[in-house]
Amino acid sequence: MHIKSAIFDLSAPDLDMCPPESLPEFAFIGRSNVGKSSLLNMLSGKKDLARVSITPGFTKLINFFTINNEWYLVDLPGYGFAKVARENSAKFNDAVTNYIAHRPSLACVFVLIDGRHEPQAIDLEFVKWLGDHSTRFVLVFTKTDKTKPLQLKANMELFRAQMALWWEETPAMFSSSAVTGQGRNELLGYVEKTLAKGWEASELELEADSGETAFETEREEASEE
């Protein structure tokens, strides 16, 4: 996928203030300091599309960017802000919860995981919540330039093993680096493939109502091809 244009659309404090559901939406989220802004800048080819801050948890609003006039890139507030009291650190942003659970035009959630570390409880909790709510999602392991390949592979497999305890099929997993550009083609290719399916908001609603997890449906379709 070639990114011809990436334009900031609006920032919404909650679901009600989000733009009309006119385009498929691909949302990106992760815990504090996972490198989300850097990754979004790398994907879009714009170094200042998303603001990079030294303060973890800087994103507080739901930010929409129109890409190629075809889809929305949605920058979601992270979870586990560093300044939140420890006992509340796993509480997800209410606006994010409502957006993910009730946004029909949401095509996929890209969950960013720091590839340098073994599975963290807060990441597992969030991923489990997505699966329990039949939300289509994939995992993106970031900062691969800062970890050894064998360690990265081991961390990814530990994450996959944990998810296998919950579901028969696990979601797609990608590795990326905002420094080297690793993963850019694969992630944009996934978006392109998703768009090619021609999903409309009504179809996404039907899929969510089917009682089947979104990534199980995707894996079954892939096996039939």
pTM: 0.82
pLDDT for residue 93: 74
Predicted local distance difference test score (pLDDT) of residue 59? 56
Beta bridge partners of residue 79, listed in sequence order: 31
| Residues 79-96: tens digit of each pLDDT | 864 343 344 444 567 888
Whole-number pLDDT of residue 176: 96
At residue 205, does pLDDT exceed 50? no
β-pair partners for 110: 28, 138
Per-domain residue ranges of the chain: 6-224
- Burial class from Cβ neighbours inside 10 Å (0-12, 13-18, 19+) for residue 192 reads middle
Q: Which residues contact 215 (CB under 8 A, 6 or more apart)?
A: 131, 136, 137, 138, 167, 169, 170, 171, 172
CATH code of the domain occupying 6-224: 3.40.50.300
**How far is Cα 150 from Cα 116, in angstroms, rounded to an integer?**
11
Which amino acid belongs to residue 212? Answer: E
Of 8, 22, 44, residue with least CA distance to 188: 44
Q: How far apart are CA 119 and CA 164, in angstroms?
A: 13
The one-letter amino acid code at 18 reads: C
DSSP, res 46? -
Q: How confident is the model at residue 203 (pLDDT cuts 50, 70, 90)?
A: very low
Residue 48, SS3 per DSSP:
coil
Is the distance from CB of 27 to CB of 108 less than 8 angstroms? yes
